[in-house]
Amino acid sequence: MNIRVNNTRQQFAETLDRAPAGEPERQYYFLDRLREVVEKKKAEEGFSATFHIETYGCQMNAKDSEKLCGILLKAGFTEVESEHADFVLYNTCTVRENANQKVYGHLGYVHSLKKKHPSMLVGLCGCMMQEPEVVAKIRKDYRFVDLVFGTHNIFKLAELLYDRLMSGHMEVDVWEGTTEIVEDLPAERKYPFKSGVNIMFGCNNFCSYCIVPYVRGRERSREPEEILKEIRRLAADGVVEVMLLGQNVNSYGKTLSTPISFAELLRRVEEIEGIERIRFMTSHPKDLSDELIQVMRQSKKICRHLHLPVQSGSTDILQKMNRRYTKEQYLELAFKIKEAIPDISLTTDIIVGFPGETEEDFEDTLDVVRQVRYDSAFTFIYSKRTGTPAAAMENQVPEAVVKERFDRLLKEVQQISSEVCGRDVHTVQQVLVEEKNSHMDGYVTGRMSNNTLVHFPGGEELIGTLADVYLEESKGFYYMGRREV
Ligand code: SAH
Ligand code: SF4
Ligand code: F3S
């Protein structure tokens, strides 16, 4: 079946000619055109305008998917839970090799679906698409893919999809970088009561193992007024918790024409009525200021949780990673934070098996874990990313050695975390109720300020509200509680 919409080349050209040049007006124009085309196609057999987005990777990608979803809903599509849809879009991640492999696996599956339903559209976007080798491979081996775009132009989905439908050819539009920040387009929030808010894009740190700066581009901060305006709007719409998002929030605002610190931005967010909780991700230790610690300490709304990736405990490895702090500096910072905010929960990311990592280096990592006593830690096996400096380093650690270290680290992390997480048992804590408990009837599940999960008896009407909950029992990584009324 031909999935090109019947229309003349000239009409298509005229539509393009009439499009406004400025954003976001241009995208609103294409949203209208796309909606017309989608309406027309709905009359065709086998096209009911359903869509499904598969999202991989971090919170930035999750946030991007909400934007993509908002655009598709406005264009007349309806969302479905599985890949049995008229349009399937994969928002990809490439931070580790296994993230890539997952996507190729899904592409094989979706190809089999498309063979049965040729009118189906398949799209790929996100970080993986910023790698030229990946796009070359898609063009060559995955010719059934209809649409490919990157991280810098997700706001253009309506235009790209419209072009694809009108031209009938695979549409590839990946930008190398951008200085543009296009917001104010529709977005569909996954939760009515909490939302991520981008405060900056990209990263300038170039940690030697990491591909993110290459696929997300240079660091760009949004203007504080734009951010505050968005959060005020969210608050008016019932959002009580915001998560400020950036690869390195501690360097927020430094490159703006009127520079502002991250701590100052937090102060201003705190003033917004209706917002009860403020979270943020991620903090690079090298840029975490005393001002931030003070603001967190005094705040009633900033959550008692700090994700502070250490990556390694060895000063030597940290230097090779280009992290720009030593083991001692990290420990000093962690202790300073704990002293200033005693009820804080610290979490981290750790990479095992970075090139050249010796047993002694690894012992240093274990030592940091034992000293800081994290509430939880994400542990990763080093993954070689083409184009990063670490990929070219000698002394890549043998797989068996890495695996053995990884298992030792995991055991240590889990042991400590089970001891630490239960510290609030038999106290009353405020819990933001997030959902009905899927395993226990009549129970709901929520999160404490420090991000720990709590299950307690309650009904759906509590979702999105803050409840005072007495923590009856610690189960290691979560609590069972009862509501205090
Ligand atoms: N900007 C954040 C991290 C984003 S990536 C920060 O700097 O903290 C999330 C995590 O993935 C990193 O903290 C790191 O632990 C891990 N990671 C990144 N590149 C990796 C690689 N090549 N191999 C294994 N883990 C990696
Ligand atoms: Fe990657 Fe480092 Fe930037 Fe984090 S700070 S995104 S680890 S380069
Ligand atoms: Fe992955 Fe891109 Fe995030 S590579 S971790 S989705 S910034």
Which atom of ligand 2 sits closest to the CA of residue 248?
5
pLDDT digits (tens, 9 = 90+) for 207-245: 999 999 999 999 999 999 999 999 999 999 999 999 999
The pLDDT value given to residue 7: 56
pLDDT < 50: residue spans in the chain: 1-2
Which residues lie with the beta carbon below 6 Å from any ligand 2 atom? 203, 205-207, 210, 212-213, 247-248, 284
The pLDDT value given to residue 4: 54
pLDDT digits (tens, 9 = 90+) for 132-177: 999 999 999 999 999 999 999 999 999 999 999 998 888 899 998 8
In this structure, the residue with its CA closest to atom 2 of ligand 2 is 207
Q: Report pTM.
A: 0.94
In this structure, the residue with its CA closest to atom 13 of ligand 1 is 349
Residue 64 to residue 211: CA distance in whole angstroms:
18
Give me the DSSP letters along 278-320: EEEE---GGG--HHHHHHHHH-SSB-SEEE---B-S-HHHHHH
Residue 429 alpha carbon to ligand 3 centre in Å: 33
Which mutation among 204, 209, 248, 380 tests ligand 2's pocket best, with the greatest number of atoms within 8 A of CB? 248
Residue 256 alpha carbon to ligand 1 centre in Å: 26
Q: Where are the beta strands (DSSP E) in 144-201?
A: 147-149, 171-173, 194-198, 200-201
List helix spans (H) across 399-444.
Answer: 399-421
Q: How many CB atoms lie within 10 A of CB 388?
A: 18
Q: Let me know the angle formed at the C-alpha of 221 by 219 and 227, rounded to the nearest 5 degrees.
A: 150
The pLDDT value given to residue 331: 98
The pLDDT value given to residue 476: 85
**Of residues 264, 272, 274, the one with CA closest to residue 221:** 264
Residue 313 to residue 331: CA distance in whole angstroms:
9
Specify whether the CB–CB gap between 252 and 288 falls below 8 A. Answer: no
Q: DSSP letter for 442, please.
A: T
The pLDDT value given to residue 46: 78
Residue 368 to residue 361: CA distance in whole angstroms:
11
Which atom of ligand 1 sits closest to the CA of residue 95?
19
The pLDDT value given to residue 194: 97
The pLDDT value given to residue 2: 47
Which mutation among 284, 287, 318, 351 tests ligand 2's pocket best, with the greatest number of atoms within 8 A of CB? 284
The pLDDT value given to residue 186: 83
Residue 60 alpha carbon to ligand 2 centre in Å: 13
Which mutation among 55, 56, 58 tests ligand 3's pocket best, with the greatest number of atoms within 8 A of CB? 58
> Residue with structure tokens 């706001």?
155
In this structure, the residue with its CA closest to atom 5 of ligand 2 is 205
**263 to 203, 268, 335: CA distances (angstroms):** 19, 9, 19
The pLDDT value given to residue 14: 87
Which mutation among 210, 287, 321 tests ligand 2's pocket best, with the greatest number of atoms within 8 A of CB? 210
Task: Show the tokens assigned to 200.
Answer: 């900056």
Residue 70 to residue 75: CA distance in whole angstroms:
9
Residue 267 to residue 269: CA distance in whole angstroms:
6
Residue 249 to residue 298: CA distance in whole angstroms:
19
Q: Is the CB of 385 under 6 A from ligand 1?
A: yes
Number of H helices, E strands in the chain: 14, 19
Which phi and psi angles does 234 have, rounded to 5°? -65, -45
